[in-house]
Amino acid sequence: MNFKNIKISSLLIVIIFIFFIIAFIGYKILLLNIHTNYEKDSKILFYKIKSDTNDLLTQLLYQRNIQTKELLEKHTIVKEYLKDKNKLNVDLQYIYTIINTNREDNPYNIYITNKNLVIKNTTYKPDFNFDLSFAKSTFDKRYEQNIVRCSNPYFKKTHKKFFSFTDSYFIKNGEKDGILQISYRYSDIDNLYEKIQILLKNNLKIKDVKAFVEGSFGYMSKITFSDFDKYKNSIEDMKKDILSGNSIKTQLNSQEFYQKYLIIDGKKYTSLFIVTRSTLFQNKIYYTLLLDTSDLEKKKNDLDILITILTLLGLISIIVNVKVRDKESRLDHQDKFVQSSMHEIGTPLSIITLNNELREEIYGADEYSSEIESALKTLQNSYDDMSFIVTQNTQEYPKELLKLQEIVQIRVHYLDSIAKSNDIIIESSFSSNCIVKISLVELERLIDNNLSNSIKYSKRDSIVKIMLKDNILTFKNYGNKIDDTDKIFKKYFRENSIVGGYGLGLSIVKDISSKYGINISVQSDDENGTIFSYEFKSHI
């Protein structure tokens, strides 16, 4: 039995297994990032729509509050004028002129229905014969309450404008004999309406949009932003609009924002359900947006191709290098395993780095190459730690006088891409002329491990602060509290086992600090975050 071949085969299995784990984790991280960005864009669109809609609703409310009393007075004037007249045949031009006195835009119109609630006399001829029976329950409720009120703003597709209405029954011989409505057309809101219209039109992902304003007694009125010629002013359309609006309301189920994925004709879409209202306005506007997810699917497919290529390159390099390591028979088993492992990480790291650089030269930098660069720097930092652990007892690194601020700035710049890929912002504050006598390798390991840990253990969308004042270097991040600030410097110890790592970084930092008499201070709590401070011996 060839024990040497058995050892090589076992090593190959272990390395391939590790490689696949790293590749799988990297793939999942990138895939999650794509989905997170897509959902983030959807939320940004939601808040933009909400902001613009609130502006529109607030302006409508302001005008309604001003107009309510006057519209009710106009209703009383018209009803008194129609008293004892044949309301369905009377000429309304005279009273129309009266109620629009001193108003050049003639915002008021009159509508009179027959017993069946069909408009048979009106100052707005396009609405002649329009059937209002779909709103009969609303009219009846107001009649039962014995009130005439100004309705909340209602959007009419025929005008592309918002209106408010008053309504009351004509009573003849104790029976309902038709409806009188007076309408008011809102002005000075066209720019706000068009702003929402342009927002929805210019977003190429939006394939369809429906919006409904909820009026009195839960009545749904559709707001149209495009394709006005497709809609007919009919009772059937009205009923469909009410059903569609209530369906969106049901989907939201008291939520402000809801999304679901669906397939239509073999294509994937995202459907967003939104409800928004002004803080001063009781009525709500409900939206449903149909978003095309083809761009999301393309990014996922591109990622699959890229990961496949990198995996094949990594496997080839692992197999080739393990075969090379087979020739190094003079090394004992332990040294051979450690050194082979380092080489097996180093070679794929170089190959992937080179391929990423070549890809950027050919296709230009993009979000994928940035994510790969960040992952490579993270892997490089781990590799450098392993290299330092292996050689620190056998190699003496030359000491030199170094400007502490200059080295810190270089390392912050190098690791900034890792922070960005984790949605972390690095804030730097430097005010120091401190000169330290230390090897460049060891100083870089101390800085890199602290900075990479700060990024790794920070909450997303938080800030990592690097401060250097005189001879004190401080790293501050906002994450979970460290329970035991002494154990974290022990080799292979990891307080948070969920976050990746080998538990080597802070043990290296501790060894270097002890060697050069660098004082360490650690403070950590949930409110103020975690602070690592290092007091260097200055050689100015």
Residue 141 has a pLDDT of 87
| pLDDT tens-digit series, residues 292-314 | 777 777 777 777 777 777 777 76
Averaged pLDDT for residues 247-258: 77
Give the CA diameter of the chain: 119
Fold that domain 400-535 belongs to in CATH: Heat Shock Protein 90 (3.30.565)
Per-domain residue ranges of the chain: 40-292, 400-535
Residue 113 has a pLDDT of 95
| pLDDT tens-digit series, residues 174-198 | 899 999 999 998 887 778 878 877 8
Residue 111 has a pLDDT of 96
Which among 221, 227, 219, 220 is positioned nearest to 200, based on CA atoms?
227
Residues β-bridged to residue 532: 475, 522
Residue 16: pLDDT over 70? no
The sign of the torsion formed by the CA atoms of 120, 123, 124, 125 equals: positive
Residue 3: pLDDT over 70? no
Cα–chain-centroid distance for residue 352? Answer: 30
**pTM score, two decimals?**
0.44
Fold that domain 40-292 belongs to in CATH: Beta-Lactamase (3.30.450)
Question: What sections of 430-504 are H helices per DSSP?
Answer: 440-456
| pLDDT tens-digit series, residues 376-413 | 766 776 776 667 777 777 778 899 999 999 999 999 99
Residue 338 has a pLDDT of 41
Determine the angle formed by the axes of helices 404-421 and 367-391, rounding to 10 degrees. 130
- Average pLDDT of the chain is 78
Q: Report the C-alpha gap between 182 and 163 in whole angstroms.
A: 10
Question: What sections of 203-291 are H helices per DSSP?
Answer: 235-252
Greater confidence (160 vs 530) lies with: 530
Greater confidence (338 vs 357) lies with: 357
Q: Name the strand (E) or helix (H) holding 105.
A: none
Residues 285/211, Cβ–Cβ less than 8 Å: yes
Residues 99/108, Cβ–Cβ less than 8 Å: yes
**What are the backbone dihedrals phi and psi of residue 398, each rounded to the nearest 5 degrees, phi first?**
-65, 135
Residue 160: pLDDT over 60? yes
Which among 98, 145, 152, 154 is positioned nearest to 127, based on CA atoms?
154
- pLDDT class for 231, splitting at 50, 70, 90? very low
Residue 28 has a pLDDT of 72
Amino acid at 98: I
> Is it true that 40-292 and 400-535 share their CATH fold?
no
Averaged pLDDT for residues 33-50: 73
Q: Report the C-alpha gap between 211 and 52 in whole angstroms.
A: 14
Greater confidence (35 vs 147) lies with: 147
Q: Report the C-alpha gap between 452 and 381 in whole angstroms.
A: 8
| pLDDT tens-digit series, residues 457-483 | 888 889 999 999 999 999 999 988 888
Fill in the DSSP letter of residue 151: P
The sign of the torsion formed by the CA atoms of 280, 281, 282, 286 equals: negative
User: Other C-beta atoms within 10 Å of 446: how many?
Assistant: 25
* β-pair type (119-122, 108-113): antiparallel
Query: Could you give the 3-state DSSP secondary structure of residue 177?
Result: strand
Residues 182/98, Cβ–Cβ less than 8 Å: no
Question: What sections of 83-103 are H helices per DSSP?
Answer: 93-99
Averaged pLDDT for residues 62-78: 89
User: Other C-beta atoms within 10 Å of 407: how many?
Assistant: 17
- pLDDT class for 267, splitting at 50, 70, 90? confident
